[in-house]
Amino acid sequence: MVTAPEQSADDRILIRELLRAGVSVLRINCARGDPHHWKRIAAGLRKAERETGLRCRLFVDLAGPKARTVDVVSLCRGDDSPRVKIGQSILLRGRIAKSAGSDRSVVVQATVSIPEILGRLTKGQRVWIDDATIGGIVVDTGSGWVKVRIDQVRGKGRRLRTERSINMPEAEGGAAEWTGRDREDLQVVASLADMVGLSFVTSTAQVREAREMLAQAGSKSRLVVKVENATAVRILPELLLEALRGGTAGVLIARGDLAAECGFDALADLQRRITSMAHAAHLPVILATQVLERMVRDGIPTRAEIIDLAFARGIECCMLNKGDHLPQAVALLRSVLQ
């Protein structure tokens, strides 16, 4: 599986190239783009199928109640996109909240897509940003804002950009199971998708409602339960049973969010446990996040990435993200797995 690059809505040659390289599932991420854009990608895929004679399923990934950075503003004079470093601070805020003012330790302030979650944070709790590549501790809070001091990031720092994930594993309470946008998007993609991914699943009710909505729309789309938080891991047997009531379903291991929510040290064991449970239920598994990431980006894989694929031989699907060397990465993945 590969995530459809933005240009694939207009670049039919790229989709044909991906299919010929070995892609059998194309993913649309509803966290980006709009229904018009998604429909153009779907139409391009179906045309590429006819032109190549190759079958490729369409996987549509609902955004889910996941907090992301919306507007990112640099407070460093002369640098519109500074690197966030250890010891510096960032200000996460709602759409209407205080600015950093004269606090020189704050180098960036970012608006959060789900502002209400900020009120669940207290001092001393951990926050992860951008697939846990930036980590920090809450050192101050206020009405609609929190100040986070960075204590984990690579040596040279990392640039904080828009549309980056925000994980708050220690925050009180949980995110809403459904958003109004998810319901609207599901209605749109019901006629397009072969598979629909349910993001940040926290109850069997969410799976049941999604299945009922698809049935009401006359859709034959299959549900894929994305496991990306501690709640989903804890109730996974119940989630699998609920998904199976719809006939055919699947499980996606979202390693990025799962590591941020449950801890990096637990990730390998969780990956094995989730796969074993899904296979016991005769459900296919999709492995996602950082599969051949360096290869996709730079054209050369790391040794660790190749070893990571050894585990993938026991599952049904690997998901690659966007990058300049995506076709080559697909070809390598296919070669290693076969």
Task: Indicate the average pLDDT of the chain.
Answer: 89
CB count within 10 Å of CB 318 equals: 24
Give the predicted TM-score (pTM) of the model.
0.88
Position 235 pLDDT exceeds 80: yes
**Widest Cα–Cα separation across the chain:** 62
The pLDDT, as a whole number, for residue 145 is 92
Q: 236-291, pLDDT tens digit by residue?
A: 999 999 988 877 789 999 999 999 899 889 999 999 999 999 999 999 999 998 89
Q: 99-111, pLDDT tens digit by residue?
A: 666 677 899 999 9
The class that CATH gives domain 69-167 is: mainly beta
Position 310 pLDDT exceeds 70: yes
* CATH of region 2-65+175-337, choose from 3.30.390.50, 1.10.150.570, 3.20.20.60, 3.30.70.980: 3.20.20.60
CB burial readout 94-110, b (16+ within 10 A) else e: beebeebeeeeebbbbb
Strand partners, 189: none
CATH 3.20.20.60 maps onto the chain at: 2-65+175-337
The pLDDT, as a whole number, for residue 103 is 77
Q: 130-188, pLDDT tens digit by residue?
A: 988 999 999 999 888 999 999 999 888 999 988 898 999 888 765 556 778 889 999 99
CATH 2.40.33.10 maps onto the chain at: 69-167
